[in-house]
Structures are given as C-alpha cells and as structure tokens.
C-alpha cells in the first residue's frame, strides 16, 4: 500500500483529517481546493495542494493523469438559485476518473437521501425518500455514480454520512452566543460521527469495500438533538438552549436547512462494522464531544 497516490477531491474539513491519515499510512496525497489561501493548511495535513473547480473539467484532468490508486470525492451538490441544485460537478469528476484504472472511487453522500424518517431505524436497505432539494440532488448523484460502477468503468463506493462533528464543529460557539435553538414539538433523532472515525471509515471503504456498495457511516448511538445540546452545555457550564416553533424557523431557513432541523433518523452501522471492520474511537458522542472540546481548547 505504501507510496501509492491518493487524491482527495475537496480537501475541506473531512478532507484535511483524511489527508493526515493517508499520509501517515504512507500514501502520496493530493488534496484539492478552489482557494489558494487554503494551500498551507492542506500542506500541513501532509498533502500536496492543487487548485480544482469541479465545474471546469480542464481543472480535473491533471488529477486523473496522476494515476491515483484511490480517489475520495467530497464535493457536494452545487446550489444554483433557491432550491435548484446541480450535480454537474459530480458528473464532471466521474467522467474524468472513469476508465483510468482506479482501485476505488469513494463518494461522500449524506443521510438526507432518506428523508424525514420520524425517528425510525435506518440502514443501507431502507428505501431512499428524500424531501429536501439537496437530498434529492444527492440521490441523483449516487444514482449517476452507481450506474457507472455497474458498467465497470468506475469502482464506486457510496458513503452515506450523518451529522459530522469534531474539533471546530461542535455546538460551542452557537451555544455561547445563544444562536442555537431546538425545535418545539420535534423529537429530533440525529445520528452522528466524529470526523476522525469518519476519515478512518472512508479509508476502510476504499481498501475493504466493494464496488457498487453503499455504506452508512455512523457511530453506535443516535441521540436526540436536545440531549446532544445538553451534553455540550453541561460540559461547558453553559445554559441549555431554548426552542423555536417550527413555523417561524421555516420562514428563516432554506427548504434543505429546514428539513435538516425536522428530520429524525436513527442510523444503524452494522455493515460499516462487519464488512469494513471499522472500530470506532468515539463510539458515542459521550466520548467524542469531550474529546472535540478538548482539542478546541475549551476543556482542560
């Protein structure tokens, strides 16, 4: 495995942790961004930074010419106006990497493809039923990629990701400023995963996953939004958040933003554990949140 090339399309929050993991495992890592000001942080994570705009195919082709063994695609559906999302970026990326002899093309999707779920248990066999415009676009992306996998030109593994948290992505600043509110009358079940466990799980999807397969990458224990907020508030000795009525929230948020606040999915991770052999460092938010707050410097 050592000395092989890995490309991270979109070296953002997850991509930076992924880059560090891959570099430590001996991969030569290339991480892309659209912003040259981000080059230093990508270099600091052990990757070679490259500019890439997925809407422009000519900026993707030099990456395919690197002949990577594995590619991680974290590029989301691109919002045009209002509720209109385009999957052109994904189509461009998939076209450039098709037929180049990759071992794995790992695409990060989201659990928004499942829709609201009303607290029901959810796994890879649950039929997708997206409600939000972004969830619908995600499903179109997945289907486009899986069709390419079926024809054998792109070895796609789809990773459906729930709420990502970790250092820099905790509720701390929103609780401190009072901007975080719960939604009245909604028992919002949320599955989450710590960013370091997510990075390890997507590497496992690349190295141990199967082509054309979907993997739901979640920790062991979904939590209610109010319990997650209480956990963070208690650790930081902050007041618990108040709540808002859904109608006033609906006026403020985009359709996709609102769906995020009223959906309630409890995700099972059996396939991730059994097929990918992932051992979670943070099996629940009770371990992960204090660790993240410590890394943020907010806890001793």
Does 28 contact ligand NAP by CB under 6 A? no
Which residue among 6, 7, 11, 202 contacts ligand NAP (CB under 6 A)? 11
Distances (CA, A) of 114 to 27, 64, 117: 34, 32, 7
Q: In the numeric block, which tokens belong to residue 136?
A: 């619908």
**Which 3 state secondary structure label does DSSP give 148?**
helix
**Of 231, 224, 216, 225, whose CA–CA distance to 271 is shortest?**
216
- The footprint of ligand NAP on this chain (CB under 6 A) covers a number of residues equal to 24
Which residue among 33, 149, 188, 191 contacts ligand NAP (CB under 6 A)? 33
For ligand NAP, the closer CB: 88 or 286: 88
Which residue among 4, 13, 79, 144 contacts ligand NAP (CB under 6 A)? 13
Does 163 contact ligand NAP by CB under 6 A? yes
Shortest Cβ 177–ligand NAP spacing (Å):
19
For ligand NAP, the closer CB: 38 or 230: 38
Footprint (CB under 6 A) of ligand NAP, residues 103-132: 108, 110
Footprint (CB under 6 A) of ligand NAP, residues 132-161: 161
- State phi, psi for 5 to the nearest 5 degrees: -90, 135
Which residue among 54, 145, 205, 214 contacts ligand NAP (CB under 6 A)? 54
Does 55 contact ligand NAP by CB under 6 A? yes
For ligand NAP, the closer CB: 55 or 187: 55
Q: Where are the beta strands (DSSP E) in 137-207?
A: 156-161, 163-165, 182-183, 189-190, 192-194
For ligand NAP, the closer CB: 86 or 243: 86
Burial class from Cβ neighbours inside 10 Å (0-12, 13-18, 19+) for residue 299 reads middle
**Of 143, 161, 136, 11, whose CA–CA distance to 83 is shortest?**
136
Does 12 contact ligand NAP by CB under 6 A? yes
Taking CB under 6 A as the binding criterion, the range among 8-16, 94-102, 149-157, 247-255 that sits at the site for ligand NAP is 8-16
Contact 232, 172 (CB under 8 A): yes
**Which 3 state secondary structure label does DSSP give 12?**
coil
Does 38 contact ligand NAP by CB under 6 A? yes
Element housing 208 (H / E)? helix 195-208
Give the whole-angstrom CA distance, residue 259 versus residue 38: 31
Does 193 contact ligand NAP by CB under 6 A? no
Q: Partners of 5 in the beta sheet?
A: 28
Rg (CA), the chain: 19
Footprint (CB under 6 A) of ligand NAP, residues 213-242: none
Does 211 contact ligand NAP by CB under 6 A? no
Residues that bind ligand NAP (CB under 6 A): 10-15, 33-35, 38, 52-55, 74-76, 78, 89, 108, 110, 161, 163-164
């Amino acid at each position: 495995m050592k000395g092989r090339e890995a490309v991270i399309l979109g070296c953002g929050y997850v991509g930076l942790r992924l880059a560090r993991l891959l570099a430590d495992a001996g991969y030569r890592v290339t991480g892309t961004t659209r912003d040259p000001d981000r080059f230093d942080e990508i270099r600091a994570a052990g990757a070679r930074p490259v500019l890439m705009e997925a809407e422009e195919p000519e900026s993707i082709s030099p990456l395919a010419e690197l002949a990577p063994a594995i590619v991680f695609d974290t590029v989301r559906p691109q919002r045009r106006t209002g509720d209109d999302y385009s999957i052109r970026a994904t189509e461009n990326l998939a076209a450039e990497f098709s037929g180049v002899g990759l071992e794995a093309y790992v695409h990060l999707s989201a659990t928004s493809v499942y829709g609201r779920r009303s607290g029901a248990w959810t796994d890879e066999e649950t039929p997708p039923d997206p409600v939000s415009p972004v969830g619908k676009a995600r499903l179109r992306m997945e289907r486009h990629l899986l069709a390419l996998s079926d024809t054998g030109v792109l070895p796609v593994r789809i990773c459906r990701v729930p709420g990502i948290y970790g250092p820099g992505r905790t509720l701390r600043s929103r609780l401190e400023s009072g901007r975080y509110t719960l939604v009245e009358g909604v028992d919002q079940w949320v599955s989450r995963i710590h960013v370091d466990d997510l990075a390890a799980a997507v590497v496992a999807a690349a190295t141990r996953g199967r082509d054309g397969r979907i993997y739901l990458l979640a920790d062991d224990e979904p939590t209610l939004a109010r319990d997650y907020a209480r956990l963070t508030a208690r650790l930081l000795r902050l007041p618990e958040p108040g709540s808002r009525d859904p109608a006033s929230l609906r006026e403020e948020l985009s359709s996709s933003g609102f769906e995020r606040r009223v959906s309630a999915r409890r995700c099972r991770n059996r396939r991730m554990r059994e097929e990918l052999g992932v051992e979670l460092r943070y099996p629940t938010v009770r371990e992960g949140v204090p660790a993240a707050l410590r890394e943020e410097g907010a806890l001793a």
